[in-house]
Amino acid sequence: MTANFTLLFLAIFVGATYWGWTWPYIAKMMPLYVAAIPGVILTLVQLYRDGTQWESQEKNRAKGIEMDEVHNIKLDRQTELWRTLAFFGWFIGGAVGVWLLGIIYSLPALVFFYALIDGKEKLHTSLIMAMVTYGLVWGLFEYTLEMRWPPGLLIGY
């Protein structure tokens, strides 16, 4: 799986090199010579390491520290996978809702349904959360500050 993600980086760097190859020097110096071409080389080395499990061997020796949060979820894979997919489903659904229905309706709806269905919160708790969200999105921005949000594709305001 790690190798797949490294492959994604490789594809991005190769694509960037390809698309930028015909640009004048001033335009391609940074994206190609500083970023993409070194990126291709680095990802090839990383792919080799991923393929030969280099990092797990290297781990036997002492090392520095992780400079980013460590992925430390301790669930069985199946559960982790389903929950991750569910999470992204909600998040992407919320984004789609903003696009289709507009932010004023979709964000309170997202909050309400997530709290109720995934979070198994009580109905009144979910409703209160949705109302607070509505108060923020519509009450603060549209009503008080008079800053209009764009309407959704399906619903205009």
Q: Which residues contact 114 (CB under 8 A, 6 or more apart)?
A: 90
Backbone angles phi and psi of 47, in degrees to 5 = -60, -40
Site for other proteins in 98-117 (CB under 8 A): 98-99, 103, 107, 110-111, 114-115
> How many residues in the shown chain lie near other proteins by CB under 8 A?
84
Cα separation, 141 vs 42, in Å, equals 46
Of 73, 121, 117, the closest CA to residue 93 belongs to 117
Write the binding mask 49 to 68 for other proteins: x where contact by CB under 8 A, - elsewhere. Answer: x---x-xx--xxxxxxxxxx
Q: Which of 95, 123, 154, 155 binds other proteins (CB under 8 A)?
A: 95
Q: Which lies closer to other proteins via its Cβ, residue 124 or residue 147?
A: 147
Does the protein bind other proteins through residue 78 (CB under 8 A)?
A: no
